[in-house]
């Protein structure tokens, strides 16, 4: 049972790639189910019951932390829509610990809400790299491309935008609107409208 459970968890992880939090919950559920169902021979029923209670308590603590982090993330999403409340939104994201099971969503929210023309290039690329791997969106894709351009990776930035247009069904109303707003702030960004071998 244990060997099968490990392979199932690793298989699911290979499918979803990131994050491993899903496998974490599946592993916890597998342990509790195995002990309470008697498939894991502990020898004494009392020991099995104690382990089940201990794991259940541990799971409860994890869920409590997850609930707290979710409330912070929800607050950040709500306040991040208003320019005047961006500092509060960023503060809420920083209050979520790095090891949280919601870290991928934190990175996605941070990438979508950051200013690609103002944020540190290295920090922005790190956050948006996670966001694009976990849940790519138009906002995070354009922000990541602008950050690559600021890092001197113009060709790679153009290629990223080209792939983003394909992935979004050439939703020019979304990709181009986001890019237009940034070009109004920095005209040099117009180079991102060109392919590597000429204009689109």
Domain that includes residue 154, residue range: 102-200
Q: Is residue 166 part of a domain?
A: yes
Separation CA 132–CA 107 (nearest Å): 9
Q: Is residue 75 part of a domain?
A: no
Average pLDDT over residues 149-154: 90
What are the contacts of 144-150 at 24+ separation with CB within 8 A?
144/111, 144/116, 145/192, 146/116, 146/117, 146/182, 146/189, 146/192, 147/116, 147/119, 147/121, 149/189, 149/191, 149/192, 150/116, 150/117, 150/121
Q: Is residue 74 part of a domain?
A: no
**DSSP label at residue 119:** S
Q: Is residue 133 part of a domain?
A: yes
Nearest 10 degrees: Cα torsion 16, 17, 22, 24: 150
Q: Is residue 153 part of a domain?
A: yes
Separation CA 132–CA 148 (nearest Å): 13
Residue identified by tokens 């944020």 is 119
Q: Is residue 148 part of a domain?
A: yes
Q: pLDDT class for 127, splitting at 50, 70, 90?
A: confident
Q: Which of 52-66, 101-115, 145-159 has the lowest mean pLDDT?
A: 52-66
Query: CA–CA distance from 131 to each of 102, 112, 162, 172, 182 (Å)?
Result: 12, 9, 18, 21, 20
Q: Is residue 181 part of a domain?
A: yes
Structural domain count of the chain: 1
Q: Is residue 160 part of a domain?
A: yes
Q: Which is higher by pLDDT, 62 or 115?
A: 115
Separation CA 172–CA 170 (nearest Å): 5
pTM of the predicted model as reported, rounded to 2 decimal places? 0.60
């Amino acid at each position: 049972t244990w060997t099968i459970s490990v392979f199932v968890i690793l298989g699911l992880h290979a499918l979803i790639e990131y994050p491993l939090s899903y496998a974490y919950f599946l592993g916890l559920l597998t342990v509790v189910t195995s002990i309470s169902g008697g498939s894991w021979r502990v020898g004494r029923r009392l020991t099995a019951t104690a382990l089940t209670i201990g794991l259940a308590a541990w799971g409860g603590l994890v869920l409590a932390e997850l609930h707290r982090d979710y409330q912070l993330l929800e607050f950040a999403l709500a306040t991040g829509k208003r320019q005047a409340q961006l500092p509060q939104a960023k503060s809420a994201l920083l209050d979520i610990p790095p090891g949280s099971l919601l870290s991928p969503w934190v990175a996605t929210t941070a990438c979508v809400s950051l200013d690609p023309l103002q944020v540190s290039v290295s920090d922005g690329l790190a956050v948006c790299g996670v966001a694009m791997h976990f849940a790519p969106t138009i906002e995070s894709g354009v922000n990541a491309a602008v950050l690559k351009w600021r890092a001197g990776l113009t060709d790679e930035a153009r290629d990223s935008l080209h792939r983003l247009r394909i992935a979004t069904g050439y939703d020019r109303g979304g990709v181009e609107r986001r890019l237009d707003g940034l070009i109004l702030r920095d005209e040099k960004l117009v180079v991102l409208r060109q392919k590597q071998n000429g204009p689109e």
